[in-house]
């Protein structure tokens, strides 16, 4: 233990002297946790809409007023033809075209029905889909409040009708940042645990101190534990700061057991540190370790359920996603913070992370060659 104590003291001194590492491990995660959820807001608002009103009636004007009053749309053009409206789409000045046909009011009164035309710019598929959905919802609401439909509903009030009500559990207002913030916190731990650990150990190879350590009586487990422990402690501190930032800036407080959340964070940090250690045993310099770590970090980010649900992925991608520890921690993190899930709900993810930590660290230790 005395040898381990000296290694730990050396590592903490080295970290304290390197101001860039301290900034990268403490300042950057906090700034990213504040900025990223705001920038990654998938709640689509401010959809640019061009209106082609070929009727110019009281009913059509009321429809346009209802659409603008919803708060989702901004009228960027009111033109006389579809060809003029299409130019707004081509120039990127509009996302959706709403075309009201001639005799719109007359057909509603005489025939009780009339079609509208919607054209969406599908280059941004997410904005087009959600924006069109919002517009259809506004039109359905407007249609239900039309005088002709209110009278028809009064005549047919004796017929059977099914009313559907729904609610969003654990996120009543459907705010997207509640879904993003816990996932960003997991990715920040991944960067500290995997990225920084890999670069720190490879740095010993570049400056030549690894050779000096290899000829000492220091055992492999003592060297590796001494290298990983400081970053494990820093990772827990960053996780704590992240929870405070989530509460102060976004009002997100863990609903579940905070000790269970920390247990997941502790095991997960050991797992990703084993991953960083494994990269360092195969890399000969920091540039090589950086690119290998970046390659896997991109896979972890894109296939962990961070942006899209893993259930919507093809079978082969879902299999890869299930094999990555980030997927399981993001899922458990969201369940504990937002749903208040207990041990029985997340124990499978915990044991998977534990197995992953043992496997990666064991592989890294076996692959590390120390010669006296």
- Name the pairing type of β-strands 96-100 and 47-53: parallel
Residue ranges of the chain that CATH labels 3.40.1710.10: 47-155
Give the confidence band of 3 by pLDDT, cuts at 50, 70, 90: confident
Nearest to 134 by CA among 213, 201, 200, 67: 67
Two structure tokens written together for 364: 């890294």
Element (H, E) at 363: helix 343-367
- Among left, alpha and beta (phi > 0; psi -120 to 50; other), residue 208 is left
Edge-first strand listing for the sheet containing 96-100: 73-79, 47-53, 96-100, 117-120
Distance CA 311, CA 305 (A): 9
- pLDDT for 243 equals 92
DSSP 74-97: EEEEEESSHHHHHHHHHTTS-SEE
The sign of the torsion formed by the CA atoms of 257, 259, 262, 263 equals negative
The 3-state DSSP class for residue 42 equals coil
Find the radius of gyration of the CA atoms of the chain. Answer: 28
Contact 326, 300 (CB under 8 A): yes
- pLDDT for 236 equals 92
**pLDDT tens per residue, range 195-207:** 878 877 787 777 7
- pLDDT for 349 equals 93
- pLDDT for 346 equals 93
| Stretch 102-107: mean pLDDT | 85
Please determine, for residue 166, whether its predicted confidence score (pLDDT) is greater than 70. Answer: no
Two structure tokens written together for 68: 């603008």
| Stretch 61-69: mean pLDDT | 88
- pLDDT for 372 equals 40
Centroid of chain to Cα 207: 38
Cross-strand pairs, 300: none
Nearest to 225 by CA among 285, 279, 270: 270
Class of domain 47-155: alpha beta
Nearest to 106 by CA among 142, 148, 140, 145: 148
Determine which of 100-104, 118-122, 140-144 has the lowest per-residue pLDDT on average: 140-144
- pLDDT for 333 equals 92
| Stretch 128-141: mean pLDDT | 83
**pLDDT tens per residue, range 142-164:** 877 665 555 544 545 545 555 56
- pLDDT for 44 equals 67
Contact 342, 260 (CB under 8 A): yes
Contact 344, 323 (CB under 8 A): no
Distance CA 195, CA 273 (A): 8
Rounded to the nearest integer, the mean pLDDT of the chain is 82
Distance CA 145, CA 139 (A): 10
**pLDDT tens per residue, range 248-278:** 988 888 999 999 999 999 999 999 988 888 8
Determine which of 17-26, 99-108, 263-272, 287-296 has the lowest per-residue pLDDT on average: 17-26
Two structure tokens written together for 19: 């101001």
- In terms of Cβ atoms closer than 10 Å to its own Cβ (0-12, 13-18, 19+), residue 207 is exposed
User: How many of the other CB atoms lie within 10 Å of CB of 33?
Assistant: 24
Determine which of 36-50, 79-93, 107-121 has the lowest per-residue pLDDT on average: 36-50
| Stretch 102-116: mean pLDDT | 82
Give the confidence band of 226 by pLDDT, cuts at 50, 70, 90: confident
Please determine, for residue 77, whether its predicted confidence score (pLDDT) is greater than 70. Answer: yes
DSSP 263-330: HHHHHHHHHHHHHHHHHHHH-SSHHHHHHHHHHHHHHHHHTTTSSS-GGGS-HHHHHHHHHSHHHHHH
Two structure tokens written together for 338: 């937002």
| Stretch 154-176: mean pLDDT | 62
Cross-strand pairs, 96: 49, 120
């Amino acid at each position: 233990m005395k040898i381990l104590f000296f290694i730990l003291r050396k590592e903490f001194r080295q970290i304290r002297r390197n101001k860039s590492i301290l900034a990268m491990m403490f300042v950057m995660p906090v700034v990213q946790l504040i900025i990223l959820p705001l920038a990654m807001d998938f709640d689509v608002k401010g959809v640019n809409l061009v209106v082609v009103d070929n009727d110019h009636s009281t009913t059509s004007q009321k429809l346009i007023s209802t659409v603008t009053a919803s708060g989702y749309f901004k009228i960027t053009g009111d033109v006389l033809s579809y060809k003029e409206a299409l130019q707004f789409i081509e120039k990127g000045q509009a996302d959706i075209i709403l075309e009201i046909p001639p005799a719109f009011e007359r057909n509603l009164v005489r025939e009780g029905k009339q079609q509208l035309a919607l054209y969406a710019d599908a280059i941004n598929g997410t904005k087009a889909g959600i924006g069109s959905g919002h517009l259809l919802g506004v039109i359905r609401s407007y249609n239900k409040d039309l005088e002709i439909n209110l009278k028809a509903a009064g005549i047919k009030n004796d017929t059977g009708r099914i009313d559907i009500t729904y609610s969003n559990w654990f996120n009543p207002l459907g705010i997207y940042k509640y879904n993003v913030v816990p996932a960003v916190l997991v990715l920040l731990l991944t960067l500290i645990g995997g990225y920084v650990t890999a670069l720190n150990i490879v740095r010993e190879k570049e400056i030549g101190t690894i050779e000096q350590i290899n000829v000492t009586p220091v055992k492999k487990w003592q060297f590796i534990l001494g290298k990983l422990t400081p970053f494990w402690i820093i990772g827990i501190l960053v996780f704590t700061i992240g929870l405070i930032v989530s509460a102060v800036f976004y009002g997100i407080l863990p609903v579940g057991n905070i000790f269970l959340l920390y247990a997941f964070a502790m095991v997960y940090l050991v797992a990703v540190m084993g991953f960083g250690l494994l990269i360092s045993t195969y890399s000969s310099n920091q540039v090589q370790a950086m690119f290998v770590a970046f390659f896997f970090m991109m896979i972890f980010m894109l296939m962990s359920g961070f942006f899209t649900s893993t259930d919507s992925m093809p079978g082969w991608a879902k299999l890869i996603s299930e094999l990555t520890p980030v997927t399981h921690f993001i899922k458990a993190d969201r369940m504990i913070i937002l749903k208040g899930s207990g041990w029985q709900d997340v124990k499978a993810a915990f044991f998977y992370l534990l197995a992953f930590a043992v496997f990666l660290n064991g592989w890294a230790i076996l692959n590390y060659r120390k010669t006296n």
